[in-house]
Amino acid sequence: MQPKTSTLERWQFSAAVLLPVVLALVITAAAVLGFIFWSTANIDERALERQSAMFEQVIEARRIRLEHELASVAIRDDTVVNTRLMFNVNWVHRNLGRWMHEFFGHDRVVVLDALAQPLYMMEDGVSVEPQAYRRISSPVQQLVNRVRAAVPASIVPGGPPRPVSVSDFAVVEGVPAIVSVMTIVSDTGAVVQPAGTEPLIAAVQFLNDRTASQFNNEYMFEDGHFGLARSVGPERATHPILNAAGRFIAFFDWERDRPGLMMLRQTGPALAAAFAVAAILVFLLLRQLRRSSAALEAGRRHAEHQAAHDRLTGLPNRMSFDVHLARVLTDRQDTGLQLSLLMLDLDRFKQVNDTLGHQAGDELICAVGQRIRAVVGPGVMIARLGGDEFAILAVSRDGCQDVATMATAIIDAIGRSFDLNHFKAHVGVSIGIVNASGGNAEPRELVRKADIALYEAKAGGRNRAVVYEEHMNELLQLQHTIEGELREALLRDDQLSVAFQPLIDQASRKVIGAEALARWHHPKYGQISPARFIPVAENTGLIEALGEFVLRRACELGAGAPGRTIAVNISPTQLRNPRFSVQVFDILHQTGMRPVDLELEITESILLDDEHVSAQNLRTFRAAGIHIALDDFGTGYSSLSYLKRYPVDRIKIDRSFVSQLSEGHVSVAITQAIVTLAHAMEIEVTAEGVETEAQAVILGRLGCNTLQGFLFSGGVAGERITAIFTDKANSPERRRRTKAA
């Protein structure tokens, strides 16, 4: 079950926390990366645009510079003189060709006459045959034509001829180049030439690797090259060079400046590291979160377990029992399984708790839980409902048979003595069983019925299992009505009465007194046993009135029979009343009975009570000569040591004990021990419930002082006991046995 839950939890955690966080992380990372790449590309694009614009300006400046350089030699009087008036090749070479090559780096210089015939040509600083002009004439001629065409427009009437120049990009000798052509004119106007006849000077500057490396150095192009074809590849940028007519002449291409990419390369590792750190942090955070949520969950489950389980035994408590019962009942309708509910209540647990202490009581409860578990096996629900109450919920196919066997096994198991720390304890268990057969049983109804069966088990003598039957319900209903009926009966004088059971002297078998027993004859229900109505009276406080009624009747009878002992049963409730002794003395006084003839029967539980008032009352009674008898000895804790604290005059060995007496039985030895001890403490011993002569003989041999039981007589009416008392023979009642009233 455990791993299943944790897998489910892990899954829930993943769905609720992990997934959204990871998703958010991935989306954030993607957004950041996307933005970085976008801005990188954007920056690179801007850089490219800027470099292209710059190249455009630079190349244009180069073209204009060539014109200006040409103008510096073409607009001069001596140039006109040396080219037109008397052509001096040496001068031309020195002052035009070589000079322009050396100062401006021009690659070709040509001087043409009015008819555009070459007069001079320089190639790479060297004067060559003018005919070499052929090699460059085709691109140069076009510019020459344009110059000639522009001359007329430059003429200012009456003024000196103005220089005309044209420059353009062209492919010269298969190499891209800037070509400039200019008219050679006088700068002072001193040398006059007819318009259109001016000699021309043309200069060619190749856009070759040399030019490119100048560009690279001056304008910081990376690995720039001029070429006739557009270069390809993402790393290189290209800018076209067009001539005035808009034709592609050449391309300049260079290594693209990519500041964005560079930035990305530089910051990339740091960024990746940051992402990794963030991811690790998130992972750690999530793990911590999962751990703490797991811890929380464990805490919650622990608290839930605590709330549903009994701390002492670890068994489910009443709350979870109720829940489980309701669920099982609902499920049963589908499965058709048999359900049995067992209510368990320990017998004599209170004595163990009171005499051995709460710790021993706790130990005992735990041990009981374990023994029950050992009997019923694992699959069955055992709950501790509180105190010494347990419940078992058994589900089976064939129901009743199993459950009866189970209950017997539990009684046997609990009946074995418990070895507690330093102590041995003996308890019993009473079990009420209800089988939920057919129909939709209601949980509360089921519990109520099991409780009724449990009540019956206790009333039937404890340490037994009773299966619920419908008639018990009626009896219980009767219990409920008893209170009201008893209240009513106490107000009338025709239902309640007192019977007297003779007390027989063992040695002489003569009647020496009687025990008063309450009797209730109900007009509708007939004779109701004191075993049934006395507990109700005790629980409802009616015992005060009932007890007073019995006491008064007993004393009235006792007053008329001095010398006979009249025993009256006193309930613990009465004895705990501080006014009880006053009441007893009042009645004795009113009836005229002698205190020494009265014997009050109390039960062991009073001795365990540790009640100051009870002890005080007992002392007062004994001081006044009233006898105290300890009733039902042998059913409870049965410790004679208590008798030192609360001295009594008599103990009455319980009838359940007496009924076991037979020759050779262990009970004989125990009874012998009790009698010997009691006598040593100057306490008389009465045996009650004597039903057979054999019992009477054994009890006589053991030294019991007084006998009581159906062997001699049951309870008889007051008149009858008076008659017995006054019977001169006062003979034993054996031969004239009467039935119990």
Tokens of 240: 């076209």
Three-class DSSP category at 222? strand
Out of 529, 656, 676, 726, which residue is the one contacting ligand C2E (CB under 6 A)? Answer: 529
| Calpha distance 128→121 (Å, rounded) | 6
Query: 709: buried, middle or exposed (CB in 10 Å: 19+, 13-18, 0-12)?
Result: buried
Q: What CA–CA distances, in Å, run from 556 to 29, 491, 496, 520, 716?
A: 105, 19, 16, 19, 16
Q: Which is nearer to ligand C2E, 101 or 564 (CB)?
A: 564
Q: Binders of ligand C2E: how many residues, by CB under 6 A? A: 25
8 A C-beta contact, residue 595 and residue 556: no
Q: Which is nearer to ligand C2E, 320 or 574 (CB)?
A: 574
Q: Which is nearer to Ca ion, 328 or 702 (CB)?
A: 702
**Packing angle of the helix pair 718-726, 543-559 (nearest 10 deg):** 30
H helix or E strand, kind and range, residue 237 = strand 236-242
Out of 79, 180, 569, 614, which residue is the one contacting Ca ion (CB under 5 A)? Answer: 569
8 A C-beta contact, residue 145 and residue 209: no
740 interacts with ligand C2E by CB under 6 A = yes
Pattern 575-614, ligand C2E, x by CB under 6 A: --------------------------x-------------
> What's the first-to-final CA gap in the chain, in angstroms?
64
Q: Which is nearer to ligand C2E, 429 or 566 (CB)?
A: 566
553 interacts with ligand C2E by CB under 6 A = no
H helix or E strand, kind and range, residue 467 = strand 465-467
Write down the residue that tokens 């359940």 correspond to: 656
CB of 535 to ligand C2E, least distance (A): 9
> Distance from CA of residue 265 to its chain's centroid?
49
715 interacts with ligand C2E by CB under 6 A = yes
Q: Which is nearer to Ca ion, 173 or 538 (CB)?
A: 538
What strands lie across the sheet with 222-227, from one edge to the other?
222-227, 248-255, 236-242
634 interacts with ligand C2E by CB under 6 A = no
CB of 638 to ligand C2E, least distance (A): 15
531 interacts with ligand C2E by CB under 6 A = yes
What single-letter DSSP state applies at residue 597?
A: G
Q: What CA–CA distances, in Å, run from 735 to 512, 659, 726?
A: 17, 21, 17
528 interacts with ligand C2E by CB under 6 A = no
Q: Which is nearer to ligand C2E, 261 or 498 (CB)?
A: 498
| Calpha distance 697→679 (Å, rounded) | 19
Contact window for ligand C2E (CB under 6 A) among 136-144, 386-394, 529-537, 672-680 = 529-537
530 interacts with ligand C2E by CB under 6 A = yes
631 interacts with Ca ion by CB under 5 A = yes
Q: What CA–CA distances, in Å, run from 183 to 76, 164, 198, 435, 657?
A: 11, 6, 6, 133, 157
Q: Among ligand C2E, Ca ion, none, what binds residue 547 when CB lies within 5 to 8 Å by partner kind? A: ligand C2E
Out of 550, 651, 683, 707, which residue is the one contacting ligand C2E (CB under 6 A)? Answer: 550
Contact window for ligand C2E (CB under 6 A) among 10-18, 390-398, 438-446, 563-571 = 563-571
Q: Which is nearer to ligand C2E, 636 or 715 (CB)?
A: 715
Out of 79, 167, 193, 501, which residue is the one contacting ligand C2E (CB under 6 A)? Answer: 501
8 A C-beta contact, residue 169 and residue 178: yes
632 interacts with ligand C2E by CB under 6 A = yes
310 interacts with ligand C2E by CB under 6 A = no
Q: Which is nearer to Ca ion, 382 or 690 (CB)?
A: 690
Interface ranges with ligand C2E (CB under 6 A): 501, 517-518, 529-531, 534, 547, 550, 569-571, 601, 631-632, 655, 688-691, 709-710, 714-715, 740
